[in-house]
Amino acid sequence: MCLIVVGWRVHPDYPLVVAANRDEFYTRPTARADFWADAPEVIAGRDLEAGGTWLGITRDGRFAAVTNVREVAAAKGLHSRGRLTRDFLAGRQRAADYVGEIDRAGYAGFNLLVADDESLWYCSNRSAQSLQLGPGVYGLSNHLLDSPWPKLLTARQGFTGALASLPDLAPLFAILADDEIVPDTELPDTGIPLDWERRLSAIFVRSEPYGTRASTVVTLAVAGGVTFEERSFGPNGQPLQSSRMSTGV
């Protein structure tokens, strides 16, 4: 599962701000975030199993991120969901055109955010239509956009307050490090066993086989510079490494 909070045109100096956790099995092979050798304009991590990515941005500010939709015993899609982000980042289509041409039936349940210098769009194959998003703060986990899951409400509230601290990224990373488990009375019922519903209710997920593998903060400055900082983790939240990449205007 994953969590993404996006601030779109709500800060005077940073039209795009993203704070995100990627949750995944630790056995899935992954490359840490970097500039891609085969697409040098792209900054992103890479799924080495299917070749896509969960979140990335280009030097000129094209942004994409994807989460899956939590569905019990869902069929595997024809294509990896990471292909949705990869193809947008490596291409040149406008965001509005890109979401309009997605073969939604070719994927298991997904939520996709894509942005260019004109617009931010949300698209899901579990929702009737794509949405162009106006200025605001948006949250996405493993249900539809802004679903009121406790972890998402907490993250959005903290994110909104942390925007005032930019360019200091520490308050955003503090939000992503919150591993508080939600009380049982507030848990969503998504059909998974209760012990896993509890674990996944935290913003930062800890367990031995599965958990938060990367916390990422991305900013796009009004002058055009991109900052991408990633902190990676092993089983039970063990810190591994961090990296920071920036581009000039």
Structural domains of the chain ordered from first start: 2-246 (3.60.60.10)
pTM (2 d.p.): 0.95
Q: DSSP letter string over 188-241? A: ---SS-HHHHHHTTSSS---SSEEEEEEEEEEE-TTS-EEEEEEEEEGGGEEEE
Q: Are the C-beta atoms of 18 and 28 separated by less than 8 Å? A: no
Which one has a higher pLDDT value, 73 or 85?
85
- The whole-chain average pLDDT of the chain stands at 94
The per-residue pLDDT for 37 is: 94
The per-residue pLDDT for 11 is: 98
Cα 103-129-56 angle, rounded to 5 deg: 65
Among 21, 17, 34, CA closest to 218: 17
Q: What share of the chain is helix, strand, coil (3-state, %, to 5)?
A: 20, 35, 40
Interstrand relation of 30-36 and 226-234 (parallel, antiparallel or unpaired): unpaired
Percent of the chain at pLDDT above 90? Answer: 90
Q: Are the C-beta atoms of 231 and 249 separated by less than 8 Å? A: no
* Amino acid (one-letter) located at 58: T
Mean pLDDT of the 191-217 span = 95
* Predicted confidence band of residue 249 (pLDDT cuts 50, 70, 90): low
* Predicted confidence band of residue 188 (pLDDT cuts 50, 70, 90): confident
- Whether residue 77 is predicted with pLDDT greater than 90 in this model: the reply is no
The per-residue pLDDT for 1 is: 60
* Predicted confidence band of residue 22 (pLDDT cuts 50, 70, 90): very high
Mean pLDDT of the 153-176 span = 97
- Whether residue 71 is predicted with pLDDT greater than 90 in this model: the reply is no
Interstrand relation of 2-8 and 16-25 (parallel, antiparallel or unpaired): antiparallel
Using alpha carbons, list the distances in angstroms from residue 115 to 58, 202, 207, 219: 11, 27, 33, 13
Residue-wise pLDDT tens digits, 119-131: 999 999 999 889 9
